[in-house]
Chain A
């Protein structure tokens, strides 16, 4: 017994040492990224939460504000309006860019000669900084010297009109995103085996029927991804608004991200800005989970031909 015990103990010891070394290595490798994530992603969320209960302008000491900032989010007309503007903006942008992106993808998927060229051209609007794109379009929409009015022929005051400003910003966003969305749908379409649609066609189904009953359902993973990421980024739009309208005219394009920026860096009401940000976080997380759940129940990932 005593003669055997030392050998068994030795094997275990090696295993534990190796495991300990692996743990050490693992955490060492993980450390920089972990530090970054904790300090610059998690801690700020906690700080935002703390800030949302303070009244602070960075100069005077921070004072406890209780739920006053959240009350402001619910009651302040400007803040409520910015949420409404953002929702309206999302409703304008997301369906449009998804449908158009899908349409472009379908056309490109036909692999006609020159499709590669078109693919590159359609992605160019997405490559450039949204801020710079916004400035280019600000010129395009200029009432006196802009190209758009020159093409259309009449003088339309796009960006100073309460009714036209938000659609104009939405249009620019769609314009930048269509090529990008199309690429996802292209990848999704490429993953659909052609045998399915061929079989359906042999059975006499017309092209629209095939599209509706086979292609679209099989595209659901892609569609869900495009919709989820699209909604999240459309709720955060800032650069384009800053470049084109600065939230105007009269708040017609003042989206939530712009409102947070104004509250924090123009009015120096850090607490209120943080409260709006926290509310936005809750909304976005809820939307993400909702969409994932809704699409999760209706998606077929496996395509066995």
Chain B
């Protein structure tokens, strides 16, 4: 039985420390959930750490149907994430297969270029991208949000290439002998064998695009195209200090991803460890 490095801590202390950490990790969410179920007057009049008396869903009703309802933003975010998921997976798979299995002039140089661009941080590209998109008239449009990351990322290409190179060549050769073209080989041989990695990449894309804030913040204006993160930020700035309402909004904004996470948590934790992606 693997026990890991022993550092002389008893089992009891281990559990104690882990439990303390777990409490610290969950407390803010639970406390804010509690606040969101209170009436504003209760938070203003009574001490913070009291149970809601009475319990109320009015804050959630306001967030879902009020002035600054989060529902349109939720829909926009789902649309953005779906489109980016398809785009990123398709483009990255194609490119990674080209790098993994095909020979063409400049391949090594191009791949090196891909690796180099992984070092370019997002904050550096947002200002020029904004200028480019503003000049192209793509401000405050759906495609303005989606285009910069639609065509895959160097990281995804790198990851998939590593994986494709590990796929046994015989299967592809057999398919080639049967007369399959490259695309058919991809579709029927390589991709089915790569489902774990693809699922991992899908999860990474969904999580990082769902949580994206800076780019949607600057490229959108107004309620039409704001994503969930931007809508939540706007709600907080409008109702600054109305914490029962704001905590309801943050709980709603987090709920979809937390639900997704609980469903596929093993996939996510494996993916983080294996791929090292943020």
Q: Which residues of A contact B (CB under 8 A)?
A: 19, 22-23, 25-27, 29-30, 32-37, 40-45, 47-48, 51, 58, 104, 106-112, 114, 118-125, 127-132, 135-140, 142, 145-147, 149-151, 175, 178-180, 183-184, 186-187, 189-190, 192, 194, 197, 206-208, 210-211, 215, 225, 229, 232-233, 235-236, 238-239, 242-243, 256-257, 260-261, 264-265, 270, 273-274, 277-278, 280-281, 284-285, 288
- Contact A210 B211, beta carbon cutoff 8 Å: no
- In the assembled complex, the CB of A105 is this many whole angstroms from the nearest CB of chain B, namely 9
Contacts of B94 in A (CB 8 A): 29-30, 32-33
Contacts of A236 in B (CB 8 A): 121-123
- Contact A238 B214, beta carbon cutoff 8 Å: yes
- Contact B214 A207, beta carbon cutoff 8 Å: no
- Contact A40 B48, beta carbon cutoff 8 Å: no
Given contacts A26-B102, A136-B28, contact A131 B152 (CB under 8 A): no
- Contact A184 B119, beta carbon cutoff 8 Å: no
Total residue contacts A-B, CB cutoff 8 A: 296
Q: B92 at interface (Cβ–Cβ under 8 A)?
A: yes
Given contacts A135-B232, A236-B123, contact A35 B128 (CB under 8 A): no
Chain A residue at minimum C-beta to C-beta distance from B8 = A207
Q: Which residues of B contact A (CB under 8 A)?
A: 1-9, 11, 14-15, 17-18, 21-22, 24-29, 31-32, 35, 43-44, 47-49, 90-92, 94-95, 97-99, 102-105, 107, 110, 113-114, 117, 119-132, 134, 147-152, 154, 157, 182, 207, 210-211, 213-214, 218, 228-229, 232-233, 236, 243, 246-247, 249-250, 253-254, 257-258, 261-262, 265, 268-269, 272-274, 276, 278
- Contact A36 B150, beta carbon cutoff 8 Å: yes
Chain A residue at minimum C-beta to C-beta distance from B147 = A40
- Contact A139 B243, beta carbon cutoff 8 Å: yes
Most chain B CB within 10 A, of A42, A127, A137, A179, is at A127
- In the assembled complex, the CB of A271 is this many whole angstroms from the nearest CB of chain B, namely 10
Given contacts A33-B152, A150-B48, contact A242 B95 (CB under 8 A): no
Out of B121, B246, B265, name the residue touching A139 (CB < 8 Å): B246
Cα of A41 to Cα of B151 in the assembled complex, Å: 11
